Amino acid sequence: MTSIRSPRQLGDALRTARKQLGLTQPELALAAGVGVRFIVDLEAGKPTLRLENVLRVIDALGGELRLSGLPAASDRDAGPAHDA
């Protein structure tokens, strides 16, 4: 597992994964349903990218996002947020 603490580290990790899978940036963009510019910016560590698209890229690479060191969410907390 890779520890990610910055957008740059995330970009580096995703670039490494893409290259290990033998994918070009355009191929990954197509597989994730994002533009090539998004992949370029993501791999460069741009900090203002849409999380939804970042998750699509991670999924297209066969990965998943896991959080550690945070309190576990209960089943009750897993649903949509709403005020009582």
- List the chain domain ranges: 7-60
Q: What are phi and psi of 5, to 5 degrees?
A: -130, 5
Q: What type of residue is 46?
A: K
Separation CA 58–CA 17 (nearest Å): 9
Q: 41 near 53, Cβ under 8 Å? A: no
Instruction: Measure Cα distances from 66 to 30, 37, 41 in Å.
Output: 24, 26, 22
- Residue-wise pLDDT tens digits, 61-81: 999 998 888 888 765 555 555
What is the pTM (predicted TM-score) of this model?
A: 0.81
Q: Tell me the per-residue pLDDT of 17-66, one tens digit each, with 9 for 90 and over.
A: 999 999 999 999 999 999 999 999 999 999 999 999 999 999 999 999 98
Superfamily of domain 7-60: lambda repressor-like DNA-binding domains (1.10.260.40)
